Amino acid sequence: MLTEKLSEITEKRLIEYIKEHGLKAGERLPNESDLSKLLGVGRGTIREAVRMLAGRNVLDVRHGSGTFVAADKIGVGDDPLGFTFIDDKKQLTFDLMEIRMMIEPRIASMAALMADEEQIAEIKALAKAVEMQIHNDVNHINTDILFHSKIAESTGNLVIPNLMPIIQQAIVMFINVTDRDLKQETIETHRAIVDSIEARDPIGASDAMMLHLIYNRNRIKKIFADQ
């Protein structure tokens, strides 16, 4: 119990070390032996704390080359909201969709007000890429997530770009998307979202996003009803 507490304290002190020393994504930490001296705890405790931080995607342990600050989305682990452990995947999929319906129309509005020219160009390019993939009968799901993520990023909100992809990726994981229907609806509603953001029209962007989400929610309902 005492040792466990020590590893948790060490976890916090390692985070402080990273922040105090301004270590950036991908930068290397001192080795185990040096960390042990620096923090005044045994190497075993350092190893435990480092592993716990690897589980949280704060650190990345590469055998033979050392321990590094995670390169991407530091502190946001694999499945941070514990979806793996929710057994009712149908209900989970609907409930995630419900969260999208709460936040994405307003996200689209914010993007219409806040996106800079470069972001608008990227949003347009991603919408185009999705269209191309649909026309070529290539799975567009990941590009689709990038499209929505770029809109989320354009709001300037610091949390939403971490949150949205988790929610979207989870929905994709849990539904059967092999048929990838809704092709025409996706193209049209994506275009309406892009046009409204470009026209700096927050109400139009919100409406277009809402329509897009309703199509998607109804598709999910139908897929589950048919199973």
Closest contact distance (angstroms) between CB of 142 and a copy of itself is 21
Contact partners, residue 71, CB within 8 Å, separation at least 6: 25, 26, 60
**CA distances from residue 196 to 92, 108, 223 in whole angstroms, order as listed:** 31, 9, 30
When asked if residue 91 is in the footprint of a copy of itself (CB under 8 A), the reply is yes
Q: Which of 82, 118, 136, 226 binds a copy of itself (CB under 8 A)?
A: 82
When asked if residue 81 is in the footprint of a copy of itself (CB under 8 A), the reply is yes
When asked if residue 114 is in the footprint of a copy of itself (CB under 8 A), the reply is no
Report the candidate in 139, 213, 227, 210 with the shortest Cα–Cα distance to residue 171: 213
Fill in the DSSP letter of residue 28: B
Q: Which of 27, 34, 38, 55 binds a copy of itself (CB under 8 A)?
A: 55
The residue range among 99-107, 116-124, 178-186, 216-224 that interacts with a copy of itself, by the rule CB under 8 A, is 99-107
**CA distances from residue 18 to 11, 25, 29, 224 in whole angstroms, order as listed:** 11, 10, 8, 46
**Which DSSP string do the residues of 88-127 spell out, in sequence order?**
-HHHHHHHHHHHHHHHHHHHHHHHHHH--HHHHHHHHHHH
Report the candidate in 55, 49, 60, 52 with the shortest Cα–Cα distance to residue 24: 60
When asked if residue 20 is in the footprint of a copy of itself (CB under 8 A), the reply is no
When asked if residue 48 is in the footprint of a copy of itself (CB under 8 A), the reply is yes
- Please tell me whether residue 40 adopts helix, strand or coil conformation: coil
When asked if residue 39 is in the footprint of a copy of itself (CB under 8 A), the reply is no
Closest contact distance (angstroms) between CB of 51 and a copy of itself is 3
Closest contact distance (angstroms) between CB of 206 and a copy of itself is 11
Q: Which residues bind a copy of itself (CB under 8 A)?
A: 1-4, 11, 15, 19, 47-48, 51-58, 61-64, 73-86, 88, 91-92, 95-96, 98-99, 102-103, 106, 157-160, 162-163, 167
